[in-house]
Structure 1
Amino acid sequence: MSRKKIPGEKSKSLTNTSYKGNLTQNQIKRMIKEAKEMAEQDKIARACVDARIELESYIYDAKNSFLSGDGLQQVGDKRGNVEIICSVRAASCWLDEKQGATREVYEKKPNELRGVWDPILITYTPS
């Protein structure tokens, strides 16, 4: 780089050493590896969130049908009603407490709830 000399000034030489931001091959490989790892972690996290959303929906639907007054309430069996209502509320509390559960745990919970609800519903559902 050069500039015009002003009369009476000593001449100086400037060297331009601009950094272009080039990455080495090792840096590029490391960044690609990290991106792949993060993509895998994102995939796992997304599957967990999806499983939780499905469970929330299942519990919400159960609440609406069992606790609304026009669902199981009309059957008339108090023991079955109480058991289902308690299990719906317990499942809702469980979901609030288990914010960081794994996908597998969220996927197993609806089967546990069906294990409680289905026998009662089958017993008291008219044929």
Structure 2
Amino acid sequence: VDGILNVRAKDKGTGTTEDITITRDKASLSQEEIDRMVAEAEEMAESDKAQKEKIEARNKAEGYAYQLKNLLKDDKKSAKLADEDKETLTGAVDELLSWLDENADADKEQLDEKYAELEKVAQPIISKIYQGAGGEGAEGGAAADEP
């Protein structure tokens, strides 16, 4: 009657009956404690979100760097680039990877900035591969198209 929940269990085999009454315990949390815990959980959610974004930014930058490294290892694609472009791209990739190793605690904004720096160097060079330009291949290709 005074309990919040009354439960009765009867073992049909032995006929034994047990009763349990669940009551509001004095050790229950007060509304103030509940509010504090909810606020802490919300703060943690914000912190978790920031950490997730940081990890995603790091993975994006690192993944892009390794993608470029693999592109440079691909003889068919890298053959379309001038040696100077290969050196520039290799240097930019190595610089980013080194920076990532040295700055494990970098925040999302720093990581995004470094990614953008690499992308700024890489995009013009990569476009040469897909345009068939760069190095000696561009001159030979243009001459072959002329009548």
1:9-88 matches, cutoff 5 A: 20-72=26-78, 74-75=79-80, 77-88=82-93
Q: Deviations over 1:79-107 (max 9, x none)?
A: 11111111111111111112111112222
On the 8 A contact 2:65/2:93 being kept in 1, the answer is yes
The reply to whether residue 105 of structure 1 matches residue 121 of structure 2 is no
Deviation at 1:20, TM superposition (A): 4.9
* Higher strand content, 1 or 2: 2
Higher-RCO chain (CA-CA 8 Å, sequence separation at least 6): 1
Identity score, percent: 31
Structure 2 residue ranges without an equivalent (≥5): 1-24, 134-147
Superposition TM-score, scaled by structure 2 size: 0.64
Superposition TM-score, scaled by structure 1 size: 0.72
Alpha-carbon separation, structure 2, partners of 1:92 and 1:71: 22
Structure 1 residue ranges without an equivalent (≥5): 1-18
State the AA in 1 paired with 2:96. Answer: A
RMSD: 2.1
